[in-house]
Structure 1
Amino acid sequence: MEGVHANEVGAGFVTTAVGFTASFAVVLTGLQAVGASATQSASGLGALCLVVGLGGLVLSLRYRVPVSLAWSTPGAAVLAGSGGLPGGFSDAVGAFMICGALFVLTGLWPFLGRLMSRIPAGIAQAMLAGVLIPLCLVPIEAAVSSPAVILPVALVWLLGVRFWARWAVPVAFGAALVVIGIAFATGAADAAEIRWAPSLALVLPTFSWQAVLGLALPLYIVTMASQNVSGAAVLQSFGYTAPWRPALITTGIGSATAALFGGHAINLAAISAALAAGPDSGVPFARRWRSAAWAGGFYVPLAVGAAAVSTVALAAPGGLIPAVAGLALIGTLASAVQSAWAHTADRVACALTLLVAASGITVWGIGAAFWALLLGLVTRGVLRSGRPATGV
């Protein structure tokens, strides 16, 4: 039996560290936006860590492919932009479960995957970009209202982007921890409120058509287009074939399970997947699945510490954590805008999609993401009607 190699463990640790620190603030922001309490947000983060870890570990060991899982960061952004639901957080949990069921159906029923693939990528990316714009404006607004808190963190993030792009957000989060530590030391935040004991809070789901249309469908579409498809492409770029159907079934069941404890959705990792699957890991091609397995294993203890991380983050002064979440999403926004503008024939439809999604409107209890997708598709259909197909 082959022994453990330091490079394998190191690549797995880096994959987990970057994946967690780069986006957990987005998850907390999104869950709170759909009505989660502080306890439920911490539970949701813990459940996601546990499912991401165990799912990635099982898939990597079973298929000997460096399959890394992650929570849906674009999906969390959709939550943050969706506003409240008629039934509160329990309606959101019902939407999370439906999204998980759709992942499973996509894995079992190829027709659903083909149907989803017919949604133009530009429209889906424009919807995502519109959802992200208000979130990415938060650091700017917070820098005006709390410059002493936000500007040092933003500067660290900018320097990280310039000199060490992969670690820009984790380093910015480290700077945020320094600011939070100062707040605790000076009495601006109460360290006694930190919950060190791990906890999972069961949330019974309720189901409403507003939650299905306004949250479950946008969450499913954004996660499939921006995460699962991209994650499979990342693995392919390094010479691996993703176990597509087993991954969708695993992430679907995992998402539905995590939903009962407040988690929103998990998927194939895209950006962080390269840390375990790529040659920069220093691990031979045939052994990189071990790095992904280690990455899954490292997520499990993070589930134990999720309550403490959440309470520390939520105690941060001056809107610091939402600002860090906004900084974390700027790169995703740039990529989404670039993809949305790729086809000249669809730019008007994509622009309308982006604007509606960014507006934050709610009609009949259904959030802006659904209306953006609907109006974008209708506009595209009208503008292309009777015209020959063109390229870009």
Structure 2
Amino acid sequence: MPGLKLSHIVSGVIAVLVGYTSSVAIIFQAIGVLNLSQAEANSWMLVLGLGMGLSTLILTLRYRMPILTAWSTPGAALLVISLNGVSLPEAIGAFLLCGTLLTLTGVTGWFEKISHLIPDAIGSAMLAGILFRFGLGVFSSMEGNLPLVAVMCVTYLAGRRWFARFAIPAVLLVGTLFCAATGAFTTGASFDFTLAKPVFTWPQFTLSALIGIALPLYVVTMSSQNMPGVVTMKAAGYRLPVSAALTVTGLTTLILAPFGGYAFNLAAITAAICAGPEADENPATRWKGAAVAGGLYCIVGLLGAAVISLFLIAPKALVVTIAGLALLNTIAGALSSALAGAAHREAALVTFMTTVSGISFLSIGAPVWALLFGGVTALVLRPKRVTG
């Protein structure tokens, strides 16, 4: 890509690092519930990586926006508790139905119409709430690994003061070197760097699996993943082609479901990394960071489960701190936008606090309840029209 910068490469690497380390353990749990063979497990990791990478590349290169996709993390958590007693063919049948529903959501366009009704202040407040725990993670990590976090924070401050464009790359480099010098990386892991192969499973459709797995998987993916993903892009100043993006992720799910690609959706947190100012000062060229992430997702997917272990040897404090520092500017910008206007300030505050609370009712996550509570607050407190 012409004009590729170091910041694009670093933001793409951080996005992939955060994307895998934050939820790959949940995927392994779901694989364990189904008692998959090693070949089947490798197939899952292959198509999950390729699905994210290819759909990200398709959307990013087509629309020149930092549109990242992801596997459904809450969907994986749902599978861990709902796959007991379910055979792999039944699970594949449920994944196919979920992919069909996701595709229809994109084709019909109803979700995009709803997303345009969200006030900018409420959307920014929700984004700030979603990312807030990553900012807090920088400080909570000090309790378990103060030397590492302190070195990274000092590097960040020095970078922001003297070499702002390279602050985050410097933090990542210094943190990695510190871990290598102190022996903080977990060693002793064995790696088999061979290309993973897809394993096809014929689907079996049963009413219990369709109702107990497919429908909840669709609902949780739409509410806890796609909605925050749309709001993240909107808060970053991009007019996301919502329907087209959902159609692509839905079709990706349909195509890859028989091989273990249970659900794909718009990303929020990793998208914020590539859509923020740390990725590029120019919003028009930030898509290159997302393209880097898409390429890396494909590479990691092709190498199967072997490379995943590389993400697990790094100290948690390293991943949490680099993610939090990379998102600080995005969090600050979202909070500033959310509270700037007096008209929606209280509604934005309600949205922010609800998101941070992490509440969940009826299998619907905090971000959706935050939009609901914030929207109701905005409607009730909207200024009265002066008549006469």
TM-score grouping bracket, smaller chain normalisation: 0.5 to 0.7
1:227 to 230, 233, 246: 233
| Distance in structure 2 (CA, Å) of the matches to 1:280 and 1:96 | 36
Identity %, equivalent residues: 28
CA distance in 2, matches of 1:231, 1:374: 22
How far 1:133 moved relative to its partner? 1.8
**Alpha-carbon deviation of 1:139?**
1.2
Measured in 1, the distance between the counterparts of 2:219 and 2:197 equals: 28
CA contact (8 A) 2:195 2:304 kept: yes
CA deviation string 1:156-192 (max 9, x = no partner)? 3333444554544344333332234335xx4862232
Work out whether residues 18 and 167 of structure 1, in 8 Å CA contact, stay in contact via their aligned partners in 2.
Answer: no
1:108-137 Cα shifts (integer Å, max 9, x gaps): 334432222112232232222222222221
C-alpha distance in 1, partners of 2:264/2:172? 22
Deviations 1:44-70 (A, max 9, x none): 886565345434655688x6x646642
Does the aligned pair in 1 maintain the 2:65–2:284 contact within 8 Å?
no
From 191, 214, 220, the equivalent of 2:188 is 191
Pairing of 1:1-392 with structure 2 (within 5 A): 8=1, 11=4, 17-31=9-23, 35-37=26-28, 47=47, 49-55=49-55, 66=64, 69-71=67-69, 85=78, 87-88=80-81, 104-105=103-104, 107-182=106-181, 186=183, 189-194=186-191, 196-197=193-194, 199=196, 207=213, 216-227=222-233, 230=236, 232-233=238-239, 246-254=244-252, 260-261=260-261, 264-266=264-266, 272=274, 300-304=298-302, 307=305, 310-317=308-315, 319-384=317-382, 387-388=384-385
Question: C-alpha offsets along residues 239-263 of structure 1, whole Å, 9 cap, x if unaligned?
Answer: xxx9876555334423666774477
Per-residue deviation, residues 344-369 of structure 1 (Å, max 9, x unmatched): 12211211121121122334554322
Cα distance in 1 between the residues matched to 2:93 and 2:353: 28
Which amino acid in 2 is paired with 1:135?
F
- Tell me the CA shift for residue 219 of structure 1: 1.5
Between the aligned partners of 1:292 and 1:145, the Cα distance in structure 2 is 32
TM-score, with structure 2 as normaliser: 0.68
CA distance in 2, matches of 1:323, 1:293: 23
How far the C-alpha of 1:217 sits from its partner, in A, is 1.2
SS class of match (1:22): helix
Does the Cα contact within 8 Å between 2:98 and 2:214 map onto a contact in 1?
no
Distance 1:370 1:290 in 2: 30
Q: What is the one-letter code of the residue matched to 1:54?
A: L
Secondary structure of 1:50's counterpart equals: helix
Letter in 2 for 1:31: S
Kept in 2, the 8 Å contact 1:156–1:171? The answer is yes
Structure 1: gaps (5+ residues)? 1-7, 234-241, 282-288
- TM-score, structure 1 length as denominator? 0.67
Task: Say if 1:143 and 1:209 are closer, same or farther in 2 by CA, change over 3 A.
Answer: same
CA-CA distance at 1:147 after TM superposition:
0.9
Quick check: 271-280 or 100-109, which moved more? Answer: 271-280
- SS state of the match for residue 265, structure 1? strand
Could you tell me whether the CA contact under 8 Å between 1:94 and 1:207 is conserved in 2?
no
* Alignment RMSD: 5.0
The AA in structure 1 aligned to 2:50 is L
